[in-house]
Amino acid sequence: MHATARERFDHWRELIGRTRASEVASAHAEDFRAEMRRLELGPVTLLRTSFPSARFWRTERMARRSDAGMHHLTLLLDGDMALSRDTRHPTETFAPGDLHLLDGSDPFDLRAFASPAPAPSSAPSLSPERAERRVEAVGVDFPTALLPIPPQRLRTVLGRGFSGREGTSALLADFLVGLDRQAALLGPAEAPRLGTVVVDLIAAWLARELDAETALPDDARRRALVENVHTFIRRNLHDPELTPAVIAAAHHISVSYLHRLFTQHSQGETVAAWIRRRRLERAHRDLADPALRTLAVHAVAARCGIPRPSEFSRAFRTAYGLPPGEHRRLALAGGTAG
Domain of 176: which CATH number?
2.60.120.10
Indicate the helix (H) or strand (E) that contains 7: helix 5-17
Residue 126 maps to a domain: no
- Give the per-residue pLDDT at 280: 94
Domain limit, last residue, from 178, 211, 244: 211
Residues 186 and 281 in one domain: no
State the alpha helices, DSSP H only, in 137-240. Answer: 151-154, 167-181, 191-210, 218-235
Residue 175 maps to a domain: yes
Q: CA 168 to CA 109: how far, in whole Å?
A: 28
Question: Is pLDDT at 165 greater than 70 in this prediction?
Answer: yes
Question: Is pLDDT at 20 greater than 90 in this prediction?
Answer: no
Give the 3-state secondary structure of residue 40. Answer: strand
Mean pLDDT is lowest, of 64-68, 204-208, 262-266, 309-313, for 64-68
Q: CA 241 to CA 135: how far, in whole Å?
A: 40
- Give the per-residue pLDDT at 317: 93
Residues 137 and 278 in one domain: no
Residue 226 maps to a domain: no
Question: Is pLDDT at 315 greater than 70 in this prediction?
Answer: yes
pLDDT tens digit string along 41-90? 999 999 999 999 999 998 888 877 766 688 999 999 999 999 998 777 77
Residue 24 maps to a domain: yes
Question: Between these two residues, 111 and 217, which has the higher pLDDT value?
Answer: 111
- Give the per-residue pLDDT at 330: 92
Q: How many domains does the chain have?
A: 2
Residue 229 maps to a domain: no
Q: CA 133 to CA 52: how far, in whole Å?
A: 7
Question: Between these two residues, 19 and 269, which has the higher pLDDT value?
Answer: 269
- Give the per-residue pLDDT at 15: 83
DSSP assignments along 297-332, one per residue: HHHHHHHTT---HHHHHHHHHHHHSS-HHHHHHHHH
Residues 304 and 170 in one domain: no
Question: Is pLDDT at 3 greater than 70 in this prediction?
Answer: no
Residue 74 maps to a domain: yes
Angle between helices 218-235 and 271-287 (to 10 degrees): 40
Residues 331 and 287 in one domain: yes
Q: Mean pLDDT: which of 46-55, 124-133, 190-199, 248-257 is highest?
A: 46-55
Residues 274 and 334 in one domain: yes
- Give the per-residue pLDDT at 239: 92
Q: Which domain holds residue 297?
A: 236-338
Q: What is the mean pLDDT of residues 316-331?
A: 93
Residues 194 and 271 in one domain: no
Residues 23 and 148 in one domain: yes
Residues 241 and 280 in one domain: yes
- Inter-residue contact 261 to 269 (CB < 8 Å): no
* 12: CB partners within 8 A, 6+ apart: 32, 34, 36, 51
Domain of 243, CATH number, reads 1.10.10.60
Residues 180 and 242 in one domain: no
pLDDT tens digit string along 288-304? 999 999 999 999 999 99
Residue 321 maps to a domain: yes
Question: Is pLDDT at 107 greater than 60 in this prediction?
Answer: yes
Residues 188 and 51 in one domain: yes
Residues 30 and 88 in one domain: yes
- Give the per-residue pLDDT at 124: 41
Average pLDDT, the chain: 85
Q: What is the mean pLDDT of residues 254-283?
A: 88
Mean pLDDT is lowest, of 49-58, 88-97, 182-191, for 182-191
Residues 57 and 110 in one domain: yes
- Give the per-residue pLDDT at 151: 81
Question: Is pLDDT at 1 greater than 50 in this prediction?
Answer: no
Residue 227 maps to a domain: no
Q: What is the mean pLDDT of residues 148-155?
A: 84
Give the side-chain half-sphere CA count within 13 A for 44: 24
Tally of residues, the chain: 338
Neighbours of 156 (CB within 10 A): 10
